[in-house]
Structure 1
Amino acid sequence: MKILVATEKPFAPVAVNGIKAELDNAGHELVLLEKYTEKQQLLDAVANADALIVRSDKITPEVLDAAKELKIVVRAGAGYDNIDTAYAKEKGIVVENTPGQNSNAVAELVFGLLVYAVRNFYNGKAGTELKGKKLGILAYGNVGRNVARIAKGFGMDIYAYDAFCPKEVIEQSGVHAVDNQEELFSTCDVVSLHIPATNETKKSINKELVSKMKKGGILVNTARKEVINEEELVALLQERTDLKFVTDIKPDLDAEFAEKAEGRYFSTPKKMGAQTAEANINAGIAAAKQINAYFAEGCTKFQVNK
Protein backbone atom coordinates (compact mmCIF):
# COMPACT_ATOMS: atom_id res chain seq x y z
CA MET A 1 0.00 0.00 0.00
CA LYS A 2 1.10 3.56 -0.68
CA ILE A 3 1.11 5.65 2.52
CA LEU A 4 1.33 9.42 2.08
CA VAL A 5 2.65 11.56 4.93
CA ALA A 6 1.47 15.08 4.02
CA THR A 7 2.70 17.68 6.52
CA GLU A 8 2.86 21.39 5.94
CA LYS A 9 4.64 21.47 9.33
CA PRO A 10 6.95 18.45 8.95
CA PHE A 11 7.62 15.76 11.49
CA ALA A 12 11.12 15.74 12.98
CA PRO A 13 13.52 13.60 10.91
CA VAL A 14 13.72 11.02 13.68
CA ALA A 15 9.92 10.73 13.61
CA VAL A 16 9.91 10.26 9.83
CA ASN A 17 12.53 7.54 10.22
CA GLY A 18 10.34 5.83 12.83
CA ILE A 19 7.27 6.05 10.60
CA LYS A 20 9.22 4.64 7.66
CA ALA A 21 10.54 1.74 9.73
CA GLU A 22 7.02 0.82 10.89
CA LEU A 23 5.61 0.98 7.36
CA ASP A 24 8.58 -0.83 5.79
CA ASN A 25 8.20 -3.69 8.25
CA ALA A 26 4.59 -4.09 7.13
CA GLY A 27 5.54 -3.98 3.44
CA HIS A 28 4.06 -0.56 2.73
CA GLU A 29 5.57 2.29 0.70
CA LEU A 30 6.12 5.68 2.34
CA VAL A 31 5.63 8.83 0.26
CA LEU A 32 6.57 12.18 1.80
CA LEU A 33 5.06 15.59 1.04
CA GLU A 34 6.62 18.12 3.41
CA LYS A 35 6.43 21.93 3.66
CA TYR A 36 4.03 22.16 0.71
CA THR A 37 2.82 25.66 -0.08
CA GLU A 38 -0.03 25.07 -2.54
CA LYS A 39 -3.18 22.97 -2.14
CA GLN A 40 -2.61 21.54 -5.61
CA GLN A 41 0.54 19.84 -4.37
CA LEU A 42 -1.54 17.97 -1.81
CA LEU A 43 -4.25 17.16 -4.37
CA ASP A 44 -1.64 15.70 -6.74
CA ALA A 45 0.14 13.72 -4.03
CA VAL A 46 -3.00 12.17 -2.55
CA ALA A 47 -4.40 11.00 -5.91
CA ASN A 48 -3.06 7.44 -5.64
CA ALA A 49 -2.48 7.13 -1.89
CA ASP A 50 -4.11 4.25 -0.01
CA ALA A 51 -3.59 5.91 3.38
CA LEU A 52 -2.79 9.40 4.61
CA ILE A 53 -1.03 10.69 7.73
CA VAL A 54 -1.43 14.40 8.51
CA ARG A 55 -0.85 16.83 11.35
CA SER A 56 -2.84 20.11 11.25
CA ASP A 57 -3.29 19.90 7.48
CA LYS A 58 -6.79 20.68 6.14
CA ILE A 59 -8.41 17.60 4.66
CA THR A 60 -11.43 19.05 2.87
CA PRO A 61 -13.98 17.44 0.53
CA GLU A 62 -11.81 18.61 -2.38
CA VAL A 63 -8.85 16.67 -1.01
CA LEU A 64 -10.97 13.59 -0.30
CA ASP A 65 -12.46 13.69 -3.80
CA ALA A 66 -8.96 13.83 -5.28
CA ALA A 67 -7.92 10.76 -3.27
CA LYS A 68 -9.41 8.04 -5.45
CA GLU A 69 -7.70 5.14 -3.63
CA LEU A 70 -7.83 6.50 -0.09
CA LYS A 71 -9.10 4.15 2.61
CA ILE A 72 -7.88 5.71 5.87
CA VAL A 73 -6.68 9.10 7.18
CA VAL A 74 -4.86 9.31 10.51
CA ARG A 75 -4.41 12.61 12.27
CA ALA A 76 -1.16 12.45 14.23
CA GLY A 77 -2.55 14.14 17.31
CA ALA A 78 -5.77 14.29 19.30
CA GLY A 79 -7.80 17.07 17.65
CA TYR A 80 -9.23 16.24 14.23
CA ASP A 81 -11.39 19.25 13.33
CA ASN A 82 -9.04 19.89 10.40
CA ILE A 83 -10.54 16.84 8.67
CA ASP A 84 -14.05 16.72 7.20
CA THR A 85 -14.97 13.53 9.01
CA ALA A 86 -18.60 13.46 7.85
CA TYR A 87 -17.66 13.68 4.18
CA ALA A 88 -14.98 11.03 4.68
CA LYS A 89 -17.63 8.74 6.17
CA GLU A 90 -19.86 9.32 3.12
CA LYS A 91 -16.98 8.16 0.95
CA GLY A 92 -16.27 5.15 3.15
CA ILE A 93 -12.94 6.54 4.36
CA VAL A 94 -11.94 5.79 7.96
CA VAL A 95 -10.64 8.75 9.97
CA GLU A 96 -8.59 8.14 13.10
CA ASN A 97 -6.65 10.23 15.60
CA THR A 98 -3.82 9.28 17.98
CA PRO A 99 -5.17 10.29 21.40
CA GLY A 100 -2.76 10.73 24.27
CA GLN A 101 0.43 10.97 22.26
CA ASN A 102 0.77 14.75 22.61
CA SER A 103 -0.88 15.08 26.01
CA ASN A 104 2.17 15.59 28.19
CA ALA A 105 3.70 18.07 25.75
CA VAL A 106 0.56 20.23 25.81
CA ALA A 107 0.26 19.96 29.58
CA GLU A 108 3.86 21.06 30.14
CA LEU A 109 3.29 24.04 27.83
CA VAL A 110 0.32 25.10 29.99
CA PHE A 111 2.70 25.56 32.90
CA GLY A 112 5.32 27.27 30.77
CA LEU A 113 2.68 29.84 29.84
CA LEU A 114 1.39 30.05 33.41
CA VAL A 115 4.75 30.70 35.06
CA TYR A 116 5.43 33.35 32.42
CA ALA A 117 2.07 34.98 33.17
CA VAL A 118 2.23 34.97 36.99
CA ARG A 119 5.76 36.42 36.84
CA ASN A 120 4.43 39.36 34.78
CA PHE A 121 6.01 38.10 31.57
CA TYR A 122 9.45 38.49 33.14
CA ASN A 123 9.28 42.29 33.10
CA GLY A 124 11.36 42.59 36.25
CA LYS A 125 8.45 43.40 38.57
CA ALA A 126 7.31 41.18 41.43
CA GLY A 127 4.83 38.52 40.43
CA THR A 128 2.97 35.77 42.25
CA GLU A 129 3.31 32.00 42.72
CA LEU A 130 1.16 29.12 41.55
CA LYS A 131 1.34 27.28 44.86
CA GLY A 132 -1.98 27.46 46.67
CA LYS A 133 -3.84 28.89 43.67
CA LYS A 134 -7.05 27.27 42.44
CA LEU A 135 -6.66 25.76 38.97
CA GLY A 136 -9.73 24.98 36.87
CA ILE A 137 -9.44 22.42 34.07
CA LEU A 138 -12.19 22.60 31.45
CA ALA A 139 -12.44 19.07 29.96
CA TYR A 140 -10.79 16.20 31.77
CA GLY A 141 -9.40 14.11 28.93
CA ASN A 142 -5.81 13.04 28.32
CA VAL A 143 -4.40 16.57 28.37
CA GLY A 144 -6.54 17.70 31.30
CA ARG A 145 -5.38 14.74 33.40
CA ASN A 146 -1.75 15.51 32.65
CA VAL A 147 -2.34 19.14 33.61
CA ALA A 148 -3.79 17.94 36.93
CA ARG A 149 -0.79 15.67 37.51
CA ILE A 150 1.69 18.51 36.99
CA ALA A 151 -0.41 20.97 39.01
CA LYS A 152 -0.14 18.70 42.04
CA GLY A 153 3.63 19.19 41.90
CA PHE A 154 3.12 22.95 42.00
CA GLY A 155 0.92 22.58 45.08
CA MET A 156 -2.19 23.92 43.37
CA ASP A 157 -5.79 23.26 44.42
CA ILE A 158 -7.29 21.55 41.37
CA TYR A 159 -10.87 21.66 40.05
CA ALA A 160 -12.30 20.23 36.84
CA TYR A 161 -15.47 20.10 34.79
CA ASP A 162 -16.19 17.74 31.92
CA ALA A 163 -19.71 17.18 30.63
CA PHE A 164 -18.73 13.67 29.48
CA CYS A 165 -16.61 12.53 32.43
CA PRO A 166 -18.41 11.32 35.57
CA LYS A 167 -17.73 13.39 38.68
CA GLU A 168 -16.63 10.31 40.61
CA VAL A 169 -13.88 9.62 38.04
CA ILE A 170 -12.56 13.17 38.48
CA GLU A 171 -12.75 12.94 42.26
CA GLN A 172 -10.94 9.58 42.28
CA SER A 173 -7.89 11.29 40.79
CA GLY A 174 -7.69 13.76 43.67
CA VAL A 175 -9.37 16.62 41.80
CA HIS A 176 -12.48 18.54 42.87
CA ALA A 177 -15.35 18.01 40.40
CA VAL A 178 -17.72 20.95 39.86
CA ASP A 179 -21.21 20.89 38.38
CA ASN A 180 -20.76 23.24 35.41
CA GLN A 181 -18.30 25.51 33.67
CA GLU A 182 -19.80 28.62 35.27
CA GLU A 183 -18.87 27.23 38.70
CA LEU A 184 -15.38 26.40 37.43
CA PHE A 185 -14.75 29.98 36.26
CA SER A 186 -16.16 31.59 39.40
CA THR A 187 -14.20 29.29 41.72
CA CYS A 188 -10.73 29.32 40.17
CA ASP A 189 -7.80 31.73 39.90
CA VAL A 190 -6.65 30.05 36.69
CA VAL A 191 -8.73 28.28 34.05
CA SER A 192 -7.04 26.07 31.45
CA LEU A 193 -9.08 25.14 28.36
CA HIS A 194 -8.93 21.64 26.88
CA ILE A 195 -12.22 21.44 24.98
CA PRO A 196 -12.51 20.55 21.26
CA ALA A 197 -13.95 22.93 18.68
CA THR A 198 -17.52 21.70 18.14
CA ASN A 199 -20.79 23.41 17.30
CA GLU A 200 -21.49 23.56 21.03
CA THR A 201 -18.10 24.91 22.10
CA LYS A 202 -17.22 27.40 19.36
CA LYS A 203 -17.15 30.94 20.84
CA SER A 204 -18.42 29.49 24.13
CA ILE A 205 -15.60 31.11 26.11
CA ASN A 206 -17.27 34.49 26.11
CA LYS A 207 -17.52 37.67 28.14
CA GLU A 208 -20.28 36.39 30.41
CA LEU A 209 -18.30 33.28 31.35
CA VAL A 210 -14.81 34.75 31.74
CA SER A 211 -16.15 37.75 33.69
CA LYS A 212 -16.98 35.31 36.51
CA MET A 213 -13.26 34.85 37.22
CA LYS A 214 -11.74 36.17 40.43
CA LYS A 215 -9.63 39.31 40.53
CA GLY A 216 -6.23 38.58 38.98
CA GLY A 217 -7.57 35.58 37.04
CA ILE A 218 -5.64 33.97 34.20
CA LEU A 219 -7.20 32.24 31.18
CA VAL A 220 -5.01 29.71 29.35
CA ASN A 221 -5.96 28.35 25.93
CA THR A 222 -3.97 25.48 24.46
CA ALA A 223 -7.07 23.88 22.93
CA ARG A 224 -8.56 25.47 19.81
CA LYS A 225 -8.74 29.08 18.64
CA GLU A 226 -12.40 28.75 17.70
CA VAL A 227 -13.62 28.19 21.27
CA ILE A 228 -12.77 31.80 22.20
CA ASN A 229 -15.25 34.60 21.48
CA GLU A 230 -12.43 36.97 20.60
CA GLU A 231 -14.45 40.16 20.25
CA GLU A 232 -16.05 39.71 23.66
CA LEU A 233 -12.79 38.71 25.35
CA VAL A 234 -10.98 41.78 24.01
CA ALA A 235 -13.78 43.95 25.38
CA LEU A 236 -13.69 42.20 28.75
CA LEU A 237 -9.92 42.56 29.09
CA GLN A 238 -10.34 46.32 28.62
CA GLU A 239 -12.93 46.42 31.41
CA ARG A 240 -11.18 43.95 33.71
CA THR A 241 -7.62 45.20 33.76
CA ASP A 242 -6.77 42.56 36.38
CA LEU A 243 -7.26 39.61 34.00
CA LYS A 244 -4.60 37.92 31.83
CA PHE A 245 -4.93 35.75 28.73
CA VAL A 246 -2.18 33.45 27.44
CA THR A 247 -2.41 31.06 24.52
CA ASP A 248 -0.38 29.03 22.04
CA ILE A 249 -2.92 29.69 19.27
CA LYS A 250 -2.58 33.16 17.80
CA PRO A 251 -6.07 34.74 17.77
CA ASP A 252 -7.46 36.44 14.69
CA LEU A 253 -7.55 39.61 16.82
CA ASP A 254 -3.97 39.20 18.01
CA ALA A 255 -3.07 42.85 17.34
CA GLU A 256 -6.11 44.06 19.29
CA PHE A 257 -5.33 41.82 22.25
CA ALA A 258 -1.72 43.02 22.25
CA GLU A 259 -2.76 46.68 22.12
CA LYS A 260 -5.76 46.68 24.44
CA ALA A 261 -4.41 44.20 27.01
CA GLU A 262 -0.77 45.23 26.90
CA GLY A 263 1.24 43.47 29.58
CA ARG A 264 -1.58 40.99 30.22
CA TYR A 265 -1.66 39.00 26.98
CA PHE A 266 0.72 36.62 25.26
CA SER A 267 0.46 34.34 22.24
CA THR A 268 3.12 32.13 20.71
CA PRO A 269 3.74 32.81 16.99
CA LYS A 270 2.51 29.31 16.04
CA LYS A 271 0.63 26.49 17.77
CA MET A 272 3.20 24.99 20.11
CA GLY A 273 1.36 22.37 22.16
CA ALA A 274 2.66 19.30 20.35
CA GLN A 275 5.93 20.87 19.27
CA THR A 276 8.31 18.63 21.18
CA ALA A 277 10.57 15.95 19.79
CA GLU A 278 8.90 13.34 22.00
CA ALA A 279 5.33 14.22 20.99
CA ASN A 280 6.35 14.45 17.35
CA ILE A 281 7.83 10.96 17.44
CA ASN A 282 5.06 9.42 19.54
CA ALA A 283 2.20 10.71 17.38
CA GLY A 284 3.87 9.90 14.06
CA ILE A 285 4.79 6.34 14.99
CA ALA A 286 1.37 5.75 16.56
CA ALA A 287 -0.24 6.86 13.27
CA ALA A 288 1.93 4.43 11.29
CA LYS A 289 1.11 1.57 13.67
CA GLN A 290 -2.62 2.29 13.39
CA ILE A 291 -2.43 2.22 9.60
CA ASN A 292 -0.57 -1.09 9.72
CA ALA A 293 -3.21 -2.52 12.06
CA TYR A 294 -5.98 -1.32 9.78
CA PHE A 295 -4.57 -3.00 6.68
CA ALA A 296 -3.45 -6.15 8.52
CA GLU A 297 -6.48 -6.76 10.73
CA GLY A 298 -9.16 -4.21 9.81
CA CYS A 299 -8.60 -2.60 13.20
CA THR A 300 -10.46 0.71 13.63
CA LYS A 301 -10.03 1.16 17.39
CA PHE A 302 -9.30 4.89 17.08
CA GLN A 303 -11.86 5.69 14.38
CA VAL A 304 -13.59 9.05 14.98
CA ASN A 305 -16.17 8.97 12.15
CA LYS A 306 -18.09 5.75 12.83
Structure 2
Amino acid sequence: MTGALGLPRSIRLREVSLRDGLQIEAPMPTSAKLELLDALVAAGLRRIEATAFVSPSAVPALADAAEVAAHLSEYQGVEFSALVASPGGARRAVDAGVTSLEYVVSASDGHSRANAGRASAEALARVADVAGIVNRAGGRTEVIVAVAWDCPFDGPTPPEAVVSLARRAVESGAERLCLGDTIGTVTPGRMADLVAAVRQACPTTPLGVHLHDTRGMGMATALAAMQLGVLDLDASIGGLGGCPFAPGASGNIATEELAYLCREVGVETGTDLAALLEAVALAERIVGRPLESRLLRAGDRRRD
Protein backbone atom coordinates (compact mmCIF):
# COMPACT_ATOMS: atom_id res chain seq x y z
CA MET A 1 0.00 0.00 0.00
CA THR A 2 1.14 3.55 -0.60
CA GLY A 3 0.33 7.11 0.42
CA ALA A 4 -2.01 8.66 2.94
CA LEU A 5 -5.04 7.15 1.22
CA GLY A 6 -3.78 3.60 1.83
CA LEU A 7 -3.95 2.62 -1.84
CA PRO A 8 -2.18 -0.19 -3.67
CA ARG A 9 0.79 0.61 -5.90
CA SER A 10 -1.01 -0.84 -8.92
CA ILE A 11 -4.27 -2.45 -9.99
CA ARG A 12 -5.19 -4.98 -12.66
CA LEU A 13 -7.66 -3.11 -14.83
CA ARG A 14 -9.90 -5.26 -17.03
CA GLU A 15 -11.44 -3.59 -20.08
CA VAL A 16 -14.99 -4.87 -20.72
CA SER A 17 -16.24 -2.58 -23.49
CA LEU A 18 -16.09 -5.23 -26.20
CA ARG A 19 -18.46 -7.43 -24.19
CA ASP A 20 -20.44 -5.52 -21.57
CA GLY A 21 -20.05 -2.27 -23.47
CA LEU A 22 -21.38 -3.51 -26.78
CA GLN A 23 -23.95 -6.06 -25.64
CA ILE A 24 -26.78 -3.52 -25.55
CA GLU A 25 -25.75 -1.77 -28.78
CA ALA A 26 -27.00 -2.58 -32.26
CA PRO A 27 -24.94 -5.33 -33.91
CA MET A 28 -21.89 -3.95 -35.68
CA PRO A 29 -19.32 -5.42 -38.06
CA THR A 30 -16.61 -7.56 -36.54
CA SER A 31 -14.11 -5.31 -38.29
CA ALA A 32 -15.29 -2.34 -36.20
CA LYS A 33 -14.80 -4.32 -32.99
CA LEU A 34 -11.30 -5.26 -34.07
CA GLU A 35 -10.53 -1.61 -34.83
CA LEU A 36 -11.57 -0.75 -31.28
CA LEU A 37 -9.54 -3.67 -29.95
CA ASP A 38 -6.46 -2.31 -31.72
CA ALA A 39 -6.97 1.04 -29.99
CA LEU A 40 -7.46 -0.55 -26.57
CA VAL A 41 -4.28 -2.57 -26.84
CA ALA A 42 -2.39 0.49 -28.11
CA ALA A 43 -3.53 2.33 -24.97
CA GLY A 44 -1.78 -0.24 -22.80
CA LEU A 45 -4.72 -2.37 -21.68
CA ARG A 46 -3.50 -5.90 -21.01
CA ARG A 47 -6.62 -7.55 -19.58
CA ILE A 48 -9.53 -7.45 -22.00
CA GLU A 49 -12.89 -9.20 -21.94
CA ALA A 50 -13.23 -9.71 -25.66
CA THR A 51 -16.74 -11.11 -26.14
CA ALA A 52 -19.40 -13.48 -24.77
CA PHE A 53 -20.36 -16.95 -25.91
CA VAL A 54 -24.07 -16.65 -25.22
CA SER A 55 -27.27 -17.12 -27.19
CA PRO A 56 -27.17 -15.00 -30.38
CA SER A 57 -30.94 -14.56 -30.16
CA ALA A 58 -30.67 -13.17 -26.63
CA VAL A 59 -27.62 -10.95 -27.31
CA PRO A 60 -27.40 -10.44 -31.09
CA ALA A 61 -24.64 -7.83 -30.72
CA LEU A 62 -22.24 -10.60 -29.68
CA ALA A 63 -23.24 -13.23 -32.23
CA ASP A 64 -19.78 -12.98 -33.80
CA ALA A 65 -17.97 -14.26 -30.70
CA ALA A 66 -16.07 -16.97 -32.57
CA GLU A 67 -15.04 -14.52 -35.31
CA VAL A 68 -13.66 -12.08 -32.73
CA ALA A 69 -11.89 -14.89 -30.89
CA ALA A 70 -10.19 -16.01 -34.09
CA HIS A 71 -8.17 -12.77 -34.10
CA LEU A 72 -7.06 -12.70 -30.47
CA SER A 73 -3.85 -14.64 -31.07
CA GLU A 74 -2.64 -11.70 -33.16
CA TYR A 75 -2.09 -9.68 -29.96
CA GLN A 76 0.88 -10.50 -27.75
CA GLY A 77 1.02 -9.97 -24.01
CA VAL A 78 -2.73 -9.52 -23.55
CA GLU A 79 -4.88 -11.70 -21.29
CA PHE A 80 -8.17 -12.18 -23.10
CA SER A 81 -11.29 -13.56 -21.51
CA ALA A 82 -14.91 -14.16 -22.46
CA LEU A 83 -18.17 -14.39 -20.59
CA VAL A 84 -20.35 -17.51 -20.73
CA ALA A 85 -23.79 -18.31 -19.36
CA SER A 86 -23.76 -22.10 -19.57
CA PRO A 87 -21.54 -25.16 -19.98
CA GLY A 88 -22.44 -25.09 -23.67
CA GLY A 89 -21.10 -21.57 -23.92
CA ALA A 90 -17.94 -22.66 -22.14
CA ARG A 91 -17.42 -25.44 -24.68
CA ARG A 92 -17.90 -22.99 -27.54
CA ALA A 93 -15.41 -20.59 -26.00
CA VAL A 94 -12.79 -23.27 -25.43
CA ASP A 95 -13.27 -24.56 -28.97
CA ALA A 96 -12.65 -21.00 -30.19
CA GLY A 97 -9.42 -20.82 -28.20
CA VAL A 98 -10.56 -18.71 -25.22
CA THR A 99 -9.85 -20.48 -21.94
CA SER A 100 -10.10 -17.65 -19.40
CA LEU A 101 -13.82 -17.48 -18.76
CA GLU A 102 -16.27 -15.56 -16.59
CA TYR A 103 -19.49 -17.29 -15.62
CA VAL A 104 -22.30 -15.17 -14.18
CA VAL A 105 -24.44 -16.31 -11.27
CA SER A 106 -27.06 -13.88 -10.01
CA ALA A 107 -27.48 -13.51 -6.27
CA SER A 108 -31.26 -13.14 -6.73
CA ASP A 109 -33.80 -15.35 -8.46
CA GLY A 110 -35.50 -12.41 -10.16
CA HIS A 111 -32.40 -11.33 -12.04
CA SER A 112 -31.24 -14.91 -12.62
CA ARG A 113 -34.49 -15.79 -14.36
CA ALA A 114 -34.36 -12.63 -16.47
CA ASN A 115 -30.68 -12.99 -17.31
CA ALA A 116 -30.21 -16.75 -17.60
CA GLY A 117 -33.72 -18.21 -17.68
CA ARG A 118 -33.20 -20.22 -14.50
CA ALA A 119 -33.20 -19.79 -10.73
CA SER A 120 -30.02 -18.74 -9.00
CA ALA A 121 -29.52 -22.20 -7.45
CA GLU A 122 -29.77 -23.81 -10.88
CA ALA A 123 -27.17 -21.43 -12.30
CA LEU A 124 -24.89 -22.05 -9.33
CA ALA A 125 -25.17 -25.80 -9.80
CA ARG A 126 -23.55 -25.43 -13.23
CA VAL A 127 -20.36 -23.83 -11.93
CA ALA A 128 -18.73 -27.26 -11.55
CA ASP A 129 -19.52 -28.18 -15.16
CA VAL A 130 -18.16 -24.88 -16.49
CA ALA A 131 -15.05 -25.13 -14.32
CA GLY A 132 -14.47 -28.71 -15.44
CA ILE A 133 -14.57 -27.72 -19.10
CA VAL A 134 -12.20 -24.83 -18.49
CA ASN A 135 -9.79 -26.84 -16.32
CA ARG A 136 -9.46 -29.57 -18.94
CA ALA A 137 -8.48 -26.87 -21.42
CA GLY A 138 -5.86 -25.50 -19.02
CA GLY A 139 -7.80 -22.31 -18.35
CA ARG A 140 -9.31 -20.45 -15.43
CA THR A 141 -12.87 -19.84 -14.27
CA GLU A 142 -14.10 -16.67 -12.60
CA VAL A 143 -17.59 -16.44 -11.15
CA ILE A 144 -19.15 -13.00 -11.35
CA VAL A 145 -21.85 -12.53 -8.72
CA ALA A 146 -24.45 -10.34 -10.42
CA VAL A 147 -26.76 -8.02 -8.44
CA ALA A 148 -24.45 -8.48 -5.46
CA TRP A 149 -25.95 -5.47 -3.68
CA ASP A 150 -29.37 -4.82 -5.21
CA CYS A 151 -31.70 -6.46 -7.74
CA PRO A 152 -34.15 -4.52 -9.94
CA PHE A 153 -36.75 -7.25 -9.40
CA ASP A 154 -36.19 -8.51 -5.84
CA GLY A 155 -34.80 -5.42 -4.09
CA PRO A 156 -31.79 -5.37 -1.76
CA THR A 157 -29.68 -8.51 -1.93
CA PRO A 158 -29.05 -10.09 1.49
CA PRO A 159 -25.26 -10.15 2.10
CA GLU A 160 -25.54 -13.69 3.42
CA ALA A 161 -26.91 -14.81 0.05
CA VAL A 162 -23.83 -13.39 -1.69
CA VAL A 163 -21.47 -14.98 0.83
CA SER A 164 -23.15 -18.37 0.49
CA LEU A 165 -23.06 -18.14 -3.30
CA ALA A 166 -19.39 -17.15 -3.30
CA ARG A 167 -18.42 -19.99 -0.96
CA ARG A 168 -20.27 -22.59 -3.01
CA ALA A 169 -18.84 -21.23 -6.28
CA VAL A 170 -15.29 -21.65 -4.95
CA GLU A 171 -16.09 -25.12 -3.65
CA SER A 172 -17.37 -25.96 -7.15
CA GLY A 173 -14.16 -24.90 -8.88
CA ALA A 174 -14.21 -21.13 -9.33
CA GLU A 175 -10.67 -19.79 -9.08
CA ARG A 176 -11.61 -16.12 -8.93
CA LEU A 177 -14.63 -14.12 -7.76
CA CYS A 178 -16.02 -10.77 -8.87
CA LEU A 179 -18.79 -8.79 -7.17
CA GLY A 180 -21.09 -7.15 -9.72
CA ASP A 181 -22.90 -3.90 -8.97
CA THR A 182 -25.24 -4.61 -11.85
CA ILE A 183 -27.59 -1.66 -11.44
CA GLY A 184 -25.17 0.84 -9.94
CA THR A 185 -26.41 1.17 -6.37
CA VAL A 186 -23.38 0.39 -4.23
CA THR A 187 -21.72 3.04 -2.09
CA PRO A 188 -18.35 2.90 -0.28
CA GLY A 189 -19.67 1.65 3.06
CA ARG A 190 -21.70 -1.15 1.51
CA MET A 191 -18.69 -2.08 -0.62
CA ALA A 192 -16.53 -2.39 2.50
CA ASP A 193 -19.07 -4.54 4.32
CA LEU A 194 -19.58 -7.04 1.51
CA VAL A 195 -15.91 -7.30 0.56
CA ALA A 196 -15.07 -8.08 4.18
CA ALA A 197 -17.78 -10.74 4.41
CA VAL A 198 -16.80 -12.47 1.17
CA ARG A 199 -13.12 -12.39 2.08
CA GLN A 200 -13.85 -13.99 5.41
CA ALA A 201 -15.71 -16.80 3.64
CA CYS A 202 -13.19 -17.21 0.78
CA PRO A 203 -9.91 -15.85 2.16
CA THR A 204 -7.57 -17.26 -0.49
CA THR A 205 -9.67 -16.52 -3.58
CA PRO A 206 -8.80 -13.36 -5.59
CA LEU A 207 -11.71 -10.93 -5.48
CA GLY A 208 -12.55 -8.24 -8.03
CA VAL A 209 -15.37 -5.75 -8.57
CA HIS A 210 -17.49 -4.78 -11.56
CA LEU A 211 -19.06 -1.36 -11.06
CA HIS A 212 -21.69 0.67 -12.88
CA ASP A 213 -21.96 4.44 -12.56
CA THR A 214 -25.75 4.68 -12.68
CA ARG A 215 -26.04 6.93 -9.64
CA GLY A 216 -22.70 8.72 -9.91
CA MET A 217 -21.05 6.66 -7.18
CA GLY A 218 -18.79 4.62 -9.45
CA MET A 219 -15.48 6.39 -8.87
CA ALA A 220 -16.03 6.88 -5.15
CA THR A 221 -16.77 3.19 -4.80
CA ALA A 222 -13.82 2.21 -7.00
CA LEU A 223 -11.55 4.26 -4.75
CA ALA A 224 -13.03 2.56 -1.69
CA ALA A 225 -12.47 -0.86 -3.25
CA MET A 226 -8.83 -0.05 -3.90
CA GLN A 227 -8.41 1.16 -0.31
CA LEU A 228 -9.76 -2.24 0.75
CA GLY A 229 -6.98 -3.88 -1.27
CA VAL A 230 -9.14 -4.95 -4.22
CA LEU A 231 -6.72 -5.10 -7.15
CA ASP A 232 -8.99 -6.34 -9.95
CA LEU A 233 -11.39 -3.71 -11.30
CA ASP A 234 -13.53 -3.81 -14.44
CA ALA A 235 -14.16 -0.70 -16.53
CA SER A 236 -15.42 0.15 -20.00
CA ILE A 237 -14.10 2.79 -22.38
CA GLY A 238 -16.37 5.82 -22.48
CA GLY A 239 -18.64 4.27 -19.84
CA LEU A 240 -20.17 1.98 -22.46
CA GLY A 241 -22.41 -0.80 -21.27
CA GLY A 242 -25.35 -1.93 -19.25
CA CYS A 243 -27.26 -5.13 -18.64
CA PRO A 244 -30.07 -5.81 -21.15
CA PHE A 245 -31.81 -7.95 -18.53
CA ALA A 246 -31.73 -5.45 -15.65
CA PRO A 247 -34.10 -2.47 -15.98
CA GLY A 248 -32.36 0.79 -15.17
CA ALA A 249 -28.81 -0.54 -15.53
CA SER A 250 -26.64 2.06 -17.21
CA GLY A 251 -23.01 2.11 -18.26
CA ASN A 252 -19.94 0.86 -16.49
CA ILE A 253 -17.41 3.09 -14.83
CA ALA A 254 -15.34 4.65 -17.62
CA THR A 255 -11.88 3.20 -18.17
CA GLU A 256 -10.30 6.56 -18.94
CA GLU A 257 -11.80 8.15 -15.82
CA LEU A 258 -10.61 5.30 -13.60
CA ALA A 259 -7.16 5.56 -15.19
CA TYR A 260 -7.18 9.34 -14.57
CA LEU A 261 -8.14 8.84 -10.94
CA CYS A 262 -5.45 6.22 -10.48
CA ARG A 263 -2.76 8.39 -12.02
CA GLU A 264 -3.70 11.30 -9.79
CA VAL A 265 -3.48 9.23 -6.60
CA GLY A 266 -0.33 7.32 -7.58
CA VAL A 267 -1.80 3.96 -8.55
CA GLU A 268 -0.32 2.38 -11.67
CA THR A 269 -2.62 0.95 -14.34
CA GLY A 270 -0.13 0.49 -17.18
CA THR A 271 -2.24 2.63 -19.51
CA ASP A 272 -1.59 5.73 -21.62
CA LEU A 273 -4.31 8.27 -20.83
CA ALA A 274 -4.00 10.17 -24.11
CA ALA A 275 -4.34 6.92 -26.03
CA LEU A 276 -7.34 5.94 -23.91
CA LEU A 277 -9.06 9.19 -24.88
CA GLU A 278 -8.34 8.43 -28.53
CA ALA A 279 -10.00 5.05 -28.00
CA VAL A 280 -13.07 6.77 -26.49
CA ALA A 281 -13.35 9.03 -29.53
CA LEU A 282 -13.12 5.98 -31.78
CA ALA A 283 -15.79 4.18 -29.74
CA GLU A 284 -18.10 7.17 -30.18
CA ARG A 285 -17.68 6.98 -33.94
CA ILE A 286 -18.27 3.24 -33.95
CA VAL A 287 -21.49 3.32 -31.90
CA GLY A 288 -22.66 6.51 -33.59
CA ARG A 289 -23.53 8.59 -30.53
CA PRO A 290 -21.83 10.62 -27.78
CA LEU A 291 -20.63 8.58 -24.82
CA GLU A 292 -20.87 9.51 -21.14
CA SER A 293 -17.20 10.43 -20.79
CA ARG A 294 -16.73 13.62 -18.85
CA LEU A 295 -12.98 13.31 -19.25
CA LEU A 296 -13.29 13.23 -23.05
CA ARG A 297 -15.33 16.45 -22.96
CA ALA A 298 -13.14 18.28 -20.44
CA GLY A 299 -9.76 16.85 -21.40
CA ASP A 300 -6.81 15.89 -19.23
CA ARG A 301 -5.71 18.58 -16.77
CA ARG A 302 -2.17 17.97 -17.99
CA ARG A 303 -1.57 19.49 -21.40
CA ASP A 304 1.93 18.11 -22.04
Q: TM class by shorter-chain length?
A: 0.3 to 0.5
TM-score computed with the length of structure 2 as normaliser: 0.33
Q: Which has the larger radius of gyration?
A: 1
TM-score computed with the length of structure 1 as normaliser: 0.33
